Amino acid sequence: MDSSNVQIPVRNKLDEWIKSELKDWDIKSRFPYFGFEIPGYENKYFYVWLDAPIGYLASHLNFLKKNNAEAKFF
């Protein structure tokens, strides 16, 4: 990975993730928890942050479209 645009500790962590195997990632929690209820599972909730990156990207894209700046980024 080219480190000219990435800080060394960030590059090292990215290299670690890329070189390692994918691991299971639990995205649910038990009640009580502030999250989104999982349909069909009593007292089980998705973590709130699960959908956050999707929302961030959608909000950013919406901002770019409203400001005619979409072509600069995508």
For residue 1, being part of any structural domain is answered with no
For residue 13, being part of any structural domain is answered with no
The pLDDT, as a whole number, for residue 19 is 92
8 sits in which H/E element: helix 8-19
For residue 7, being part of any structural domain is answered with no
For residue 10, being part of any structural domain is answered with no
CB 72 within 8 A of CB 65: no
Domain residues for the domain of 35 are: 24-73
When divided into structural domains, the chain yields a total of: 1
For residue 64, being part of any structural domain is answered with yes
Residue 45 has a CB neighbour count (10 Å cut-off) of 19
Task: Give the dihedral sign, CA 36/39/45/50.
Answer: negative
- Residues 66 and 74: their CA atoms lie apart, in Å, by 14
pLDDT digit string, tens, across residues 25-66: 776 666 666 677 888 988 887 777 767 888 888 998 899 889
CA-atom Rg of the chain in angstroms: 18
